[in-house]
Structure 1
Amino acid sequence: MKLGLRSGVAAAILSFSSIAAGGITSAAHAEGPKVVATLKPIHSLVASVMQGVGEPTLIVEGASSPHGFSLKPSQMAAVQDADMVFWVGPMMETFLVKPLENVDPSHAVELAELPGMRLMNYDEDHDHDHEHEHDHDHADGDGHDHDADHDHEHEHEEDHADHDADHDHEMAEGEEHHHHHSGVDGHLWLDPENAIAIADGVADALSTVDPDNAVLYKANAAKLRADLSAQSEQIAATLAPVAGRGFIVFHDAYQYFESRYGLDAAGSVTVNPEVSPSAAHIAEMQDRIRDSGAVCVFSEPQFPAKMVDVVTEGMSLNRAVLDPLGATLEPGPALYGDLIGALADSFARCLGSGS
């Protein structure tokens, strides 16, 4: 199987930048609302919905990771001054929890709470069948039922008390700390069906602060929905031949993508990308690699590859890169489609090598 980063799935999908050319622009006002989006994939979805009106401000720029991120004074001011802030939630952007306490709750949209969102929890065994189901009926002003349209449930973890536990780790001098994820997995954008729910939620939220452009927001969301659905079908067809083949990811960030397309990681190099894996975890992962017959190990561009080298020392595995945040991609409407397409290409190429 031969798939390049810009070929295969990435080349087959519709260009998200075409929304700008094909979208409705006549209703747009000269100056749109002030909108902030935290992460590059979220910013991309928001930017797609806002085309013809304005551009959102991105908080976590470049190759930065939300893990351990701190707001600059200018970014703090942008959040405080925004008409609308879009963030995943406290399980992902811990740095926004306190700043948002001073923002009108109606002007901050926690994407994990949107109708139609499928949420998944972490657990130590990487078991994906432990979701809390929570149904929401959601219709917009013209009677459009988002849940019926997407035919997916909002599976929601009721207790958010431990969201910050993923980040509040302390290491005493001379003491090895073994960190575990718990609660809701915040990498929810890696399921394109969740991205569809986000697009609709963004359009609804923007329509409340900018009703004059509501028709445009919803038209852009509908176009994005169609593009995402078409891309997801292409990805499913591409990944079907490699489903069931073992692999190791850098950290446990991909279960939304895996679950959607029938993939299942044997484990992760590290449970927390900010902390080097312990000797016990390295030994455990080496055993899992051998037992699972894994053929591929994935690194990430934001973190040093030496962690992967340590875990896979002496093993012959295919190597590839997964970029869940779009660290190497230019921000904008096209980023989300490119990100998901690149993930699919990396999985297909690495798992299919030698087949």
Structure 2
Amino acid sequence: MQFSPIKRTLQAVLLLVASAAAGAEPPEILTSIKPLQLIAQELTEGVTEVDVLLKPGSSPHSHSLKPSDARKLKSADVIFWVGPSMEAFLPKILGGLKDTKSVAMMEAHGINLRSMEEDDNHIHDDHGHAHDHDEYDPHIWLSTDNARVMAKAMVKTLVSVDPANKKQYEKNLEVFGQRLNQADEDNLVKVKTAGTRPFFVFHNAYGYLEEQYGFQVAGFFTTNPDYQPGANHLVQLQEKLQKAGSACIFREPQFQPAYIDRLSEGLDIEVGVLDPLAEDIEPGSDSYARFINSMVDTITDCLQEPLPESLLGSSAG
């Protein structure tokens, strides 16, 4: 059978398009912080590597944009970030990037936003409308329910810029959900069987984790990790620590304020480290679940009441 010149031309064009699509470079994906990188890397597994803007030791609350950061942002095809109330340094430069798709996770459809007011109930946003985000806790990645929402939003964006890998992204999303289901099942058991020691955290970043698994933080040292808490707050916190008896305190890797040692001096306090920015977790398969599991393990391990010294002595003999 012979094809007409028009059909042959059309066939050649289709082959060129298919060939170009098959050999197209995957998009360059950038996230603002490590926890978002963990999620995005699982979703792009088998397609591309995801880079992160803030390196270990950097605080998204107070980061100053460097020339190297600006170059990374300008070369990215897609940028996933939390929102203006977390990365205050980003909105201005993102507004000038015409060829880059930036997606704020606090705007994801269906994300659960908790009020910053301790006594207020959290807010469910099912509409994806803009908010005054300063009213809401931006540490949204510490909820596995929110991680599912963010992953779905990420895949929607990835498919829009890279439709050739749609099936792979959607397959990765399904696997990601299965891993989170298992993590939730395991972590709920850990929390249910954990001890009852009160615990205190460095700053009020853990509300989503509390809500997800039923933890209850007894107190926090500061609302902003980059500033010294007020004297009145520290006095009240010291009273809480004294009343708590045996307790746990969790600081964070980037911050080692001397006032934690001062307030816990002479008390039955165990000091540990919680890392809400996942500095020690390598991106890859099940990295987000490993991150959440490590947070839960750190807390529940410390919540176990220590054995009395008399029992420790007898068991040693």
> TM-score with structure 2 length normalisation?
0.83
Question: Which runs of structure 2 are paired with 1:182-201 in the superposition (5 Å)?
Answer: 183-201=135-153
Letter in 2 for 1:50: T
Displacement of 1:87 in angstroms is 0.2
Q: Which residue of 2 aligns with 1:114?
A: 108
Which has more helix, going by share of residues?
Answer: 2
For residues 82-108 of structure 1, give each alpha carbon's deviation from its aligned partner in whole angstroms, at most 9, with x where no partner exists. 221100001111111111111249811
Q: Which residue of 1 aligns with 2:6?
A: none
Q: Find the residue that maps to 2:220 and give its secondary structure.
A: strand
Displacement of 1:120 in angstroms is 0.7
1:53 aligns with 2:47: yes
The answer as to whether partners of 2:195 and 2:300 remain within 8 angstroms in 1 is no
The answer as to whether partners of 1:276 and 1:307 remain within 8 angstroms in 2 is no
Task: Identify the range of structure 1 (51-60 vs 236-245) with the bigger mean alpha-carbon deviation.
Answer: 236-245
Q: Which residue of 1 aligns with 2:214?
A: 262
1:239 aligns with 2:212: no
Separation (CA, whole Å) in 2 of partners of 1:237 and 1:344: 11
Q: Find the residue that maps to 1:98 and give its secondary structure.
A: helix
For residues 42-90 of structure 1, give each alpha carbon's deviation from its aligned partner in whole angstroms, at most 9, with x where no partner exists. 0111111111111122101123221211222122122123221100001
Q: Which residue of 1 aligns with 2:271?
A: 319
Unaligned runs of 5+ in 2: 1-20, 308-317
Separation (CA, whole Å) in 1 of partners of 2:86 and 2:65: 14
Separation (CA, whole Å) in 1 of partners of 2:246 and 2:103: 39
Question: Which runs of structure 2 are paired with 1:1-355 in the superposition (5 Å)?
Answer: 31-104=25-98, 107-123=101-117, 126-127=118-119, 129-136=120-127, 158-160=131-133, 163=134, 183-242=135-194, 245-292=197-244, 295-354=247-306
Displacement of 1:310 in angstroms is 2.2
The answer as to whether partners of 1:243 and 1:262 remain within 8 angstroms in 2 is no
The answer as to whether partners of 2:194 and 2:301 remain within 8 angstroms in 1 is no
Distance 1:283 1:97, change over 3 A: same
Unaligned runs of 5+ in 1: 1-26, 137-153, 164-182
Separation (CA, whole Å) in 2 of partners of 1:120 and 1:106: 29
The answer as to whether partners of 2:159 and 2:165 remain within 8 angstroms in 1 is yes
Separation (CA, whole Å) in 2 of partners of 1:309 and 1:87: 34
Separation (CA, whole Å) in 2 of partners of 1:240 and 1:84: 40
**How many percent identity over aligned positions?**
36
Letter in 1 for 2:74: Q
Distance 1:334 1:63, change over 3 A: farther
Number of paired residues? 287
